[in-house]
Amino acid sequence: MEDHTDVANPSAITDAVKIVEGKLNGAGLNLLINNAGIYTPTASLETVDSEEMIRTYKTNAVGPMLMAQAFLPLLKKAARESTEKGLSCSKAAIINMSSIGGSIASLFGFDLMQVVSYRCSKLVPT
């Protein structure tokens, strides 16, 4: 296995689930953190193209969804077997790394960096 799983590659994710499952020895998974992200600083509205949009979406938006989907059975297993009450990262949780750069409310730093592909891929409603 490489030193990390390519989150844009569904078969690599399937392999990662098998490896994690093997290490868990029958237990569930408490926490999935989707941290992987790519950022192309030169992607302005004038220069960005469809390939760059798709490449960035595959890692930043589709990747976390595929990871969540693939690890869901292990996360559900941990939740079922936990004695914790309510929501908790020590029960079962998914954390997705967002960015203020994807805010539709603040337009943080837009005058300095448009980074259209990144901002769209990290869209957050606040």
Ligand X SMILES: NC(=O)c1ccc[n+]([C@@H]2O[C@H](COP(=O)([O-])OP(=O)(O)OC[C@H]3O[C@@H](n4cnc5c(N)ncnc54)[C@H](OP(=O)(O)O)[C@@H]3O)[C@@H](O)[C@H]2O)c1
Site map (CB under 6 A) of ligand X, residues 38-77, x = contact: x--------------------x------------------
Q: Out of 4, 23, 25, 46, which residue is the one contacting ligand X (CB under 6 A)?
A: 4
Q: Out of 35, 50, 83, 126, which residue is the one contacting ligand X (CB under 6 A)?
A: 35
Stretch that binds ligand X, among 32-40, 41-49, 84-92, 105-113 (CB under 6 A): 32-40
Angle at 58 between CA 97 and CA 27, to 5 degrees: 60
Q: Does 6 bind ligand X (CB under 6 A)?
A: yes
Residues with Cβ within 8 Å of 103's Cβ and at least 6 positions away in sequence, in order, are 124, 126
Structure tokens at 95: 């954390």
The answer to whether 97 and 37 are in contact (CB under 8 A) is yes
